[in-house]
Amino acid sequence: MDDDTLRTIGELAHLTGLSVKTIRFWSDAGVVPPTDRTPAGYRRYGPDALARLDLVRTLRELGVDLATIQRVLAREVTVAEVAAAHAEALDVQILPPCPATGRRGPCCGCAGPCCARWPGGGPHPRRWN
């Protein structure tokens, strides 16, 4: 690869707003591997590193762990699958327990608070006329 297209870790930090320490950590974890190293051992990154760093940052901000991010980058799972699992986990944490079943999660059909807070997930609470 042409040396003009390779960037140092400092250049990536400047372009992305991430710290050198964060990029180095992710590099050591294998999610953003260097394309090359200089004779002095400095890491050099190819053009795809910027997009990769952006994706890793976004997934980390959503609370996705590095092991799952590695699976996304290896194309073992899709970002959509990870996002759906993450949203489901958040719903379980946010929604109140169902008065009928005691479980948390999407509407169970009881017309209780779990159904009222789940958009389109089941029957609406009864209206008293």
Structural domain span for residue 115: 87-124
Q: What is the mean pLDDT of the chain?
A: 81
Note the maximum CA span of the chain: 80
pLDDT at 126 over 50: no
Per-residue pLDDT of 77-121, as tens digits, reads 998 998 888 887 777 677 667 777 777 666 666 666 656 654 555
- 40 and 8 housed in the same domain: yes
CATH of the domain at 48: 1.10.1660.10
C-alpha closest to that of 63 among 37, 83, 33:
83
Tell whether 96 and 52 lie within a shared domain. no
Does pLDDT of 25 surpass 80?
yes
pTM score of the predicted model: 0.66
Indicate if 51 and 97 belong to the same structural domain: no
Q: Please, are residues 111 and 126 in contact by the beta-carbon 8 Å criterion?
A: yes
Domains identified in the chain, total number: 2
- Structural contact between residues 27 and 56, judged by C-beta atoms closer than 8 angstroms: no
Residues 62 and 98 in one domain: no
Residue 129 inside a domain? The answer is: no
Is 129 a residue whose pLDDT tops 50?
no
Residues 56 and 112 grouped into a single domain: no
Let me know whether 34 and 8 are in one domain: yes
